[in-house]
Amino acid sequence: MTPRFTPVLFDLDGTIVDSAPGILASLAWTYEQLRMPIPAPAELLKWVGPPILDSFRDLAKLDEDESRYALALYREHYAEVGVLDATPYPGVLDVLRDIREAGVPLSLATSKPESLARTILDHIGIADAFTEITGASEDEVRSSKPDVVAEALRRLAADGDAAPAPVMVGDRIHDVEGAAEHEVPTIFVTWGYGSPAEAAGAIAVARTSRELLAELAL
């Protein structure tokens, strides 16, 4: 049977793992180093998903140089302390393995730096399920979701994996809109950090890993 979607692109934070504890702790530490008031946890949750550099500009209201300095502080702390504070959501690793076993090309598509994303996937024992692990470049030149999706599709094509019916799986509006720029539909998962309104534009909403597997129709 021909899979409904191929290839499948997956977001990481809020979709595969609950990485908020490590991210929020490193953000709070960064605010302390900058001698700025630490926002409430609910406010810091808005940072999880979009590129962190953009959030220092848009949410912390820092200028370009300040944002890059803050990002350097954050990354150093997160790489040493926060990156492994990430827990897989129930059933999601089984979905990833099922995709791989069905022979469907699978790529990560995250705005997290690729090296840190790989560290997390290795830590939770799922890196080998992915055909490609695509994330932000270390210099942030590639960090927006549209750019990450484009790179994931490019790498898969270079592998010889055509994209007749690609799909994105994610939990934020950035996933939906970023994939849509490349005419890739999104299945929105509700267990992450996005609000219900962020599902607007998605082709389906999955509330559990079982529902997600049904939508993928492997």
In contact, 82 and 28? CB cutoff 8 Å? no
**% of the chain exceeding 70 in pLDDT:** 100
- Taking the CA atoms of 75, 78, 81 and 87 in sequence, report the sign of the dihedral they define: negative
Q: Return d(Cα 199, Cα 197) in angstroms, integer.
A: 5
Give the torsion through C-alpha atoms of 57, 61, 66, 72, to 10 deg: -50
Give domain 8-18+87-216's CATH superfamily: HAD superfamily/HAD-like (3.40.50.1000)
Average per-residue pLDDT for the chain: 95
Return the pLDDT at 157.
95
Q: Compute the average pLDDT of residues 3-13.
A: 95
Q: Is residue 106 scored above 70 in pLDDT? A: yes
Q: Catalytic residue positions?
A: 11
Q: Where are the domains of the chain?
A: 8-18+87-216, 20-82
Return the pLDDT at 1.
61
pLDDT tens for 145-158 read: 999 999 999 999 99
Q: How many CA atoms lie within 13 A of 144 on its CB side?
A: 10
Q: Compute the average pLDDT of residues 49-58.
A: 90
Q: What confidence category does residue 3 fall into, taking pLDDT thresholds of 50, 70 and 90?
A: confident
Other beta carbons less than 10 A from residue 161's beta carbon:
18
Can you give the pTM of this predicted structure? 0.92
Q: Compute the average pLDDT of residues 169-184.
A: 97
Return the pLDDT at 125.
97
Return the pLDDT at 66.
96
* Fold observed for domain 20-82: DNA polymerase; domain 1 (1.10.150)
